[in-house]
Amino acid sequence: MLRGLPELSLTATRLPAIEIENIETSPLTVSKNSVFVCTRTALRDGHYSAEEAYHRGCRVFVAERGLALPREAAVCLVEDAEVALAGLCAKLWGPLPEDMCVFGITGTHGKSSVALLTAGMLRRAGKTVAVLTGDGADDGKKFIPAGSAVPDAADLWRFLYRCGANGAKFVVLELSAYMLKHQTARGIPFHATLLTDLAPHHIGPGMHRDFAAYCAAKAALFAPPARMAYFPFGMNTVLNVNAPITYYGSSGAFSLTDEGAAVQGEVYGRGLTLQKDGQNYAIFHPVPGDFACRNAEAAAVLAREAGLTLAEIAEGLAAVTPVGRLELIACREGRRVYLDTAYTGEEVLRVLRTLRTVTTGRLSVLLGSVGGRAKARRAPLGAAAGQLADFTFFTADDPDSEKPEDIVRDMVAEWPRLARYDFIQDRAEAIATAVAALHPGDTLLILGKAQDNTQLTATGKSFFSDREIAEAALYML
């Protein structure tokens, strides 16, 4: 496998007589049958982990410079370890099944929503689907929550291999600019790729140096062997794309018109009209917000590419909501509880602005932050809640070994002077208290996890479901 890869320059005179079973970039998961690839990220340089990988049994290494390892270690030098990683993964876990269709989605906003809507519509139409988003990976049989590390090419190809083994005919991948910058999707034979939008984001130290670099990272998704690229109509993009582009939102396979805010029973959403060749479908899409139509349109484009009929798309948009994205998890007598996975101040502001438009009474929010990492996000999260919510309940999220009160102290560092909040450390008690405070017309937004029903504390992981606690509390009123 190693000798057949053109990116590699073998400096070892001989390779160990082992059967390669895995490719790893973390020394914690290597074995004697692994290849350890020394990639560089903003957080670590794999070259400094090679010795640990050796002591754990690994004997084959791919690196950009020489490694101080015993003579029995085979070190293969490359110019770019990330490019080599993608090539090795494609050889070990490829080719993908011919009947498996892979969609790739990137953009600044709406990636997860579009991925989850697409997957939901395909499943509703009877298709076997796997999906990967920032929340985690569902390989068609099991959902694995996202860890603290962003997936690299080895993670992605390993996931695709599992999807094929599980019989998934469609795989929907959400790909961030960070992932694309680090060659994560290189060599994947996408059936179609889609851009949701493009705006300056994630620019600064440890991210992208400027907007041009951010755009260059996004453009990597639309390089060959992608067959088709879908871009929003009217977008003046600076991306240099070689694949043929189809603009959605213009005359084409169909048109989806936003008819404005709508309500059905106690559920707020958006009225949509789907049209094609004289066929008209009036749809109530159960997601509020003016961005709901844009996300629905992008998901419908991929669903159409997957072979769904207009009737199946219309039925899907009327029934499917993106899990954890402005998801109404409980409502009773005008009291509504939404769940969202927003984890930055900008995203929280966006969600709260949307909920403000459908709230006639008080808008409250319940949130915390993870312990031990992402500390720079805490103050902006708290400030966003204090700016737009009438009341904020701070509580534990996944504090790990960090004290929840210390996390909340960081979150109120930029707290608006007149805003009101309370701190209830126990998350179950906090949710029950927040729900009990609701009156008809009030809305509670719970910021948490959509598909991972666990909580990580100093004593380890335990079962915890925001949904179950909120539903039980609301129906006790």
pLDDT in tens, the chain (477 residues): 555 444 455 455 456 667 888 999 999 999 999 999 999 887 789 999 999 999 999 999 999 999 999 988 989 899 999 999 999 999 999 899 999 999 999 999 999 999 999 999 999 999 999 999 999 999 989 999 887 788 999 999 999 999 999 999 999 999 999 999 999 999 999 999 999 998 887 776 667 788 888 888 898 898 876 678 899 887 766 787 777 788 887 656 788 999 999 999 999 999 999 998 888 999 999 999 989 999 999 999 999 999 999 999 999 999 999 999 999 999 999 999 999 999 899 999 999 999 999 999 999 999 999 998 889 899 999 999 999 999 999 999 999 999 999 999 999 999 998 889 999 999 999 999 999 999 999 999 999 988 889 898 999 999 999 999 999 999 888
Say how many CA atoms lie within 13 Å of 291 toward its Cβ: 17
How would you class 190 by CB atoms within 10 Å of its CB: exposed for 0-12, middle for 13-18, buried for 19 or more? buried
Q: Domain 94-322 maps to which CATH number in 3.40.50.150, 3.40.50.300, 1.10.3720.10, 3.40.1190.10?
A: 3.40.1190.10
How would you class 376 by CB atoms within 10 Å of its CB: exposed for 0-12, middle for 13-18, buried for 19 or more? exposed
Whether omega for the bond prior to residue 145 falls within 30 degrees of 0, making it cis, is no
Residue with tokens 């990116």: 7
Segments of the chain assigned to CATH 3.40.1390.10 = 9-91
Segments of the chain assigned to CATH 3.90.190.20 = 327-474
Say how many CA atoms lie within 13 Å of 129 toward its Cβ: 21
CA distance 356 to 353: 5
CA distance 306 to 283: 21
Q: Enter the pTM of the model.
A: 0.91
Segments of the chain assigned to CATH 3.40.1190.10 = 94-322
CATH of domain 9-91: 3.40.1390.10
- pLDDT value of residue 6: 45
CA distance 169 to 100: 4
Domain topology for 327-474: Protein-Tyrosine Phosphatase; Chain A (3.90.190)
